[in-house]
Amino acid sequence: MEFQKKGRRVAVLTVLSLSLICGQSVSYAAGPGDSLGKNAGNSTGSSTTSSTQSSTSQSSTTSGALDYSGWYGYTNADGSDLKYLEKGTEVSKFQNENGPIDWDAAKKDGLDFVMIRIAYGTKEDAYFDENVKGAQKAGIKVGAYLCSTAKNMDDALAEAKLTVKKIKPYKFEYPVAYDLEVGSMLSDGLTKEGLTAMTNAYCKRVKDAGFIPMVYANKTWLTKHMNLSDLPYDVWFAAYPLDRVYRPVEGSTTTIWQSSEKGVVRGIKGLVTTEFSWKAYGGGNPSEKNAGKSGSASGNSSNNGGNSSNNSSDNGKNSNNSNNGNSGKNGGNKNGNNSGGASGNNSSGNNSSNGGNTSLNKEENSTISTGGPTAESQAAVENGWVQSTPGKWQYKENGKAVTGWKKVSDKWYFMNSDGNMQTGWVKDQNSWYFLDDQGVMRSGWIKDNGNWYFLKDSGAMAKNWQKVSGKWYWLSEDGAMRTGWRNLNNVWYYMEDSGAMVADTTRNINGVDYRFDASGAWLP
């Protein structure tokens, strides 16, 4: 029998690829503000902050000068100022644990909307109801999000059920977002199709409950881990470019851009995310605002209600969280206009993508996808799983593709001479091995094309007689398990439908009694 490698779809693997960016440094969100941590003295959530940041990031006060530079200096790819309709941020328990939130002060400071965390997976945020009621009482538009940890459809539906339960008592102006970023979601080989289906199922239940669904993700999750064209929902896009240039993801309906974690809002202690919305959810006729260079934060700002200076060197995230990505063609201009409000944001040119470094969520202790190599090195090499071309995965070590067998997280994979991960049947040194749809080497019994095969602990396909769990089985030269009568070396044996050899008994077969000795041989 001539085995052929099965043409199976390669699943998204658990380790994200690292990549480089040409001439620009871009960092992607580690979650809607979740990585900001609980210590307002270190309000970026990273281990170090500059003295300037430390002295200006205490935004819990209701009076005094604040540094609003995190809200300004943004442009489109053509160099024009970034314009938007409504200004927002997000909050979770981390902001509450920094100190009580003064929602009235936040409203006076120009905060138009807030996205409030519902839960991390199915672990509810203890401050959700308090935050919703406080923000709505102050006249701030409210939306919500659930940070997903789902690995399968059942998990996603459980998260949707919790979401509907928590939001049902309220009326929101802004969407309810499914936050996709936690790296462990991919650890069981979740495919693009699987994650897309889970996302659509979650969003459908949100929509059926009378709310506006939305997807939160960075470029990697939108383009590498989901089929964006199959997601008919608005996108809350997370990207922290150090040059503060907005580069949309081609094909996405982005209505909110999370541009940094360097914002301040009076009434909320510590740094917060900066969110720009081009859609006036919930109605109203807001005037267009300018987050560009000409909309400098120096002096009193009509949008912020406080003094601030435009610090052009304070770009993107803290260097401990900054990451470079890989650049690719955007494929044309992307107009930032969306139904419900016009922005006039036209962006074109190169679209940056992130790679696969991770940062740690301080509370939930889960690995979360962020960007590519650190900003300290533009020449960082690739390590781990890399999708070299669509549908082909390679495992890189110091930038070089591994060939042959490779053990990753206690699982064996096989790469061909080109370094591409294999699936299906693979022959190596006169033995056949079977690799599942995720490329993982299998052992034990498998069924393929209607036939049963037994793979040894080494993964090698067994042939001839094989004893498994105390019973003998006959496997032909092609490895397929045989049943019924077998004449081997002029001795007749009988294998049941299960493949197990009949021995030391009398068995009625097609109305005739046959005796078999302890070795399984038929006794005439």
Identify the structural domains of the chain with CATH numbers, from first to last.
72-290 (3.20.20.80), 383-441 (2.10.270.10), 443-523 (2.10.270.10)
Q: What is the pLDDT of residue 391?
A: 63
What is the DSSP secondary structure assignment for residue 341, as one 8-state letter? B
d(CA 412, CA 200) in angstroms, rounded, equals 33
Q: What is the pTM of this model?
A: 0.53
Per-residue confidence in pLDDT tens, the chain, 524 aa: 333 333 333 333 333 332 322 333 334 333 443 434 333 333 333 333 333 333 333 444 445 678 889 999 999 999 999 999 999 999 999 999 989 999 999 999 999 999 999 999 999 999 999 999 999 999 999 999 999 999 999 999 999 999 999 999 999 999 999 999 888 888 888 999 999 999 999 999 999 999 999 999 999 999 999 999 999 999 999 999 889 999 989 888 999 999 998 899 999 999 999 999 999 999 988 999 999 987 655 433 434 433 333 333 333 323 333 333 333 323 333 233 333 333 333 333 333 333 333 232 323 433 333 333 333 333 345 678 876 565 678 898 888 999 999 998 889 999 999 999 999 999 999 999 999 988 999 999 999 999 999 999 999 999 999 999 999 999 999 999 999 999 998 999 999 999 999 999 999 999 999 999 999 999 98
Q: What is the Cα gyration radius of the chain?
A: 29
Counting DSSP H helices and E strands in the chain, the numbers are: 7, 39
The residue among 261, 235, 272 whose CA lies nearest residue 111 is 272
> Can you read off the two tokens belonging to residue 176?
């309810």
Q: Find out whether 195 and 185 touch, Cβ atoms under 8 Å.
A: yes
Q: Find out whether 151 and 187 touch, Cβ atoms under 8 Å.
A: yes
The residue among 69, 61, 26 whose CA lies nearest residue 312 is 69
d(CA 422, CA 437) in angstroms, rounded, equals 9
Count of alpha carbons within 13 angstroms of residue 218, beta-carbon side? 30
Q: What is the pLDDT of residue 381?
A: 56
d(CA 262, CA 13) in angstroms, rounded, equals 32
Q: How far from each other are the two terminal CA atoms of the chain, in whole angstroms?
A: 33
Q: Find out whether 12 and 227 touch, Cβ atoms under 8 Å.
A: no
d(CA 62, CA 325) in angstroms, rounded, equals 38
